[in-house]
Amino acid sequence: MLVFWKARLVMLAVPKTGTSAYARALAPLASMVVSDPPELKHAPVYRYNRFFRPMFEKIGGEMELLAVIREPVDWLGSWYRYRQRDFLNGKPTSTRGLSFDQFCDAYARGDRPPFANVGSQAKFVEPRPNGVSVNHLFRYENQAGLLAFLEERLGTNVDLPRDNVSPRRDLSLSPEIDAKLRRKCAADFETWESAT
């Protein structure tokens, strides 16, 4: 999570949406960089609302929230590839030895096994009952729009490095699993469709 106090902007770090690269590029401009623990670095709207918002409001800052979300199948593909890395080999979260179909099928279940328990982008950015919500929701695929927004809002050029890139893998889905995913995880697809 990056906090830009003067710009009254908080960039939430939705996992697997390029936020590591943005953190590296923008950290020198940020008033606050939350990089650990992961529960705070990747604080969703509900956790921001509970822990960070009251602190900012107490010192006179009403902040706008920015988040980036990725096309859901592509997002799951990034998780699948990431969890194939050697350091996870033999752990319950590893996807090694599984096809992308198997991974997505497990993700679409109600009770997800550890390797497919990666959360939900729709839940991450879900508005709170008190009105706290993401003001600026960008599609990961719209990097040009996101960069233009950040450069204008922060008054600087942004040089974005490639960071935390997962290895390439076959990410084709069978029609059955694709349909199941779109049916069971409709909120994620609807949220992505609503983004800029």
Phi, psi of 4 (to 5 degrees): -110, 90
What number is the average pLDDT over the span 161-166? Answer: 63
Confidence of residue 53 (pLDDT cuts 50, 70, 90): very high
Query: Does residue 164 have a pLDDT over 70?
Result: no
Confidence of residue 168 (pLDDT cuts 50, 70, 90): low
Q: Mind listing the pLDDT tens digit for each residue in 25-37?
A: 999 999 999 999 9
The pLDDT assigned to 131 comes to 95
Taking CB atoms within 8 Å and a gap of at least 24, the contacts of 170-174 are 170/99, 170/100, 171/73, 171/74, 171/77, 171/80, 171/81, 171/100, 172/100, 173/73, 173/100, 173/101, 173/104, 174/101
Confidence of residue 165 (pLDDT cuts 50, 70, 90): low
**2-194 CATH, one of 3.40.720, 1.10.3470, 1.10.357, 3.40.50:** 3.40.50
What's the CA dihedral at 183, 44, 16, 161 to 10 degrees? 150
The pLDDT assigned to 121 comes to 98
| Residues whose CB is less than 8 angstroms from the CB of residue 182 and which lie 6 or more positions away in sequence, other chains included | 189
What number is the average pLDDT over the span 66-88? Answer: 96
Q: Mind listing the pLDDT tens digit for each residue in 93-104?
A: 999 999 999 999
What number is the average pLDDT over the span 141-148? Answer: 96
Q: What is the pTM of this model?
A: 0.94
The pLDDT assigned to 110 comes to 83
DSSP state, 64?
E
